[in-house]
Structures are given as C-alpha cells and as structure tokens.
Amino acid sequence: MIEKSLAWRIYRPDQPERVSLIFGTIHLAISDDRISDYLAKAITPYDEVYTETELSDEGSAYLNRHIMIDRAVWHEHLDRRRYDKMRRIFQKTYQVDIEQYRFIRPLLVMSLFYQSPLFGLGRGEKLDQLIHRYALEQGKKVGGIESIYDQVKIMNQIPLSYDFDQMIKWSKHVTKVNQKLKKLIRYYLQQDIAALYRYSSRSLGSHRALLLHDRNQLMADRISEIHDRQPAFFSFGAGHLAGAQGVLALLKHNKYIVKSHNL
C-alpha cells in the first residue's frame, strides 16, 4: 500500500544530490494554511517550477478558443424542458446559472460547480494558480508538464455528447454527486492518494486510458526529461500519483528512487 502523502522526492540512484520534488494538487481552491505554507517554502530551492499545464496568458487564450461552442449546440442535445429543469437544479444547488455559460463545453461549466460554498472551499485561487503565482513572485522559470496543445488534443477526442450525458447524470443524482465530491476533498486533505486514484479511475469510465493512463505516461516521461536536465518542482493532479500505471510507479520503473516528503 502506497503511503499517504501529497509530496514526493525523486532522484537517480547514482545522483542522490539531484532531487526534484513532486506535489499532487487538486484543481480547487483549498483554504489550508499547512498546504499553502508548505508550497511557498518547497518551491524556493528550485529554479524551475512546472504545473500540470502552462498557465500563461498565451496558453489560456489558445485553450479558450477550443472550449467555445455555439450556444445553439446545447439545445441540439437537450430539449427545452430538460434544460430548464437542469438550470433550476444547478442554480439552486451551486448558485451557478448555466445559461450564462452556454458558449463553452459543458465539462468546463461543471467545473464551476466545485467552487460552490456547499463544499466549504471558498472562491480563492486554485492550487495550480497559487503555485504558479508563488513561482513568479520568487522569480522562477515556469512552465507546464503537459503543453496546452496536448490538453486540447485530448479534449478534442472526447465527443460533445459525453459532456451532455455527464451533465444530465449529474442533475439526476445531484445529492449523490455532492457526497462523492465531499469525499474526494476529504481524501485530498487526508493525503490519501490511493483513494484519489481509485476515485479518478472509476469516474472516468471508458475514457480512463485517454484521460488518466496515457497522460500519466506523458507526464512521467516529461518529468524525467526535465529532471535529467535540471532538478525542478513539479505539480499536477494528485489522482495521477498512485496506481500501477500512476506517475510514481512509472518513475520507479524508469529507475528513479521515489520517497514521500512530509508537509
């Protein structure tokens, strides 16, 4: 059983002094002083800091162009009655009016639900953004483990029908979904990366290989490439850490020593 830890040190056996640090994030705003204090200090020794994907203005602009859809597409997938019912449910539960966001893919709209006061996380910076800001404030070189082009390529392989199916399921089982999301947040705060992996793996269904396993391999290869050039600080979703095909296991397979690092 893998240890409960969000932070991991990696190094080659023949170069124990060249240590990179991996930190598992959650793509939410987490108001936890222990985590934010740790990150501010953990970034300091490194000249280069990498988040899951690049968070530059240029990268964001490119992503935004590819998540936009015609507003009429929503009603090609949802009849008016179902749409109106969903709109009421999400507005009441999460204080999010989906009518305001019909110009983007539903999967991106649903990500707004996580910011609801219902989950007690506040509306501050997501951890990825916090790390990016800390790095810039400390004058670090910043980048993405995955390129924005990688992520858009993956997104384009997911049909829009999947987005709408997921949104319909969410609206039908909103109480159960909320319970699962609260459990996910609890797993994260407990640093239970094995439970986070199981949650991610189950929730992705038929897209598990595309969204989890393939990306794990890409990230492990990229981390190895960067580390062999210069040790760095890496951060990405904690659901990618554990598992037989997780990033940590892939790095071990690539002859790295992998050790947990206490917060």
State how far the Cα of 126 lies from the Cα of 180, in Å rounded to an integer.
20
The whole-number pLDDT of residue 122 equals 59
Q: In a 3-state reduction of DSSP, which class is residue 126? A: coil
State how far the Cα of 33 lies from the Cα of 56, in Å rounded to an integer.
26
The whole-number pLDDT of residue 95 equals 92
The whole-number pLDDT of residue 102 equals 94
Q: Are 236 and 25 in contact (CB under 8 A)?
A: yes
Summarize the chain as % helix, strand, coil (round to 5): 60, 15, 25
The whole-number pLDDT of residue 156 equals 86
| pTM over the 0.85 mark | yes
Domain-wise residue ranges, the chain: 7-68+125-260
Which residue from 149, 157, 166 is spatially nearest to 108, judged by alpha carbons? 166
The region, left, alpha or beta by phi > 0 then psi within -120 to 50, assigned to residue 122 is: left
DSSP state, 71?
Answer: T
Could you list the pLDDT tens digit for every one of the 263 residues in the chain? 799 999 999 999 999 999 999 999 998 878 778 898 999 999 999 999 999 988 777 767 777 787 889 999 999 999 999 999 999 999 999 999 999 999 999 998 998 898 888 876 656 788 998 999 999 999 999 999 998 888 888 888 999 999 999 999 999 999 999 999 999 999 999 999 999 999 988 888 888 988 899 999 999 999 999 999 999 999 999 999 999 999 999 999 999 999 999 88
State how far the Cα of 71 lies from the Cα of 100, in Å rounded to an integer.
10
Q: Are 66 and 251 in contact (CB under 8 A)?
A: no
The whole-number pLDDT of residue 123 equals 62
The whole-number pLDDT of residue 241 equals 98
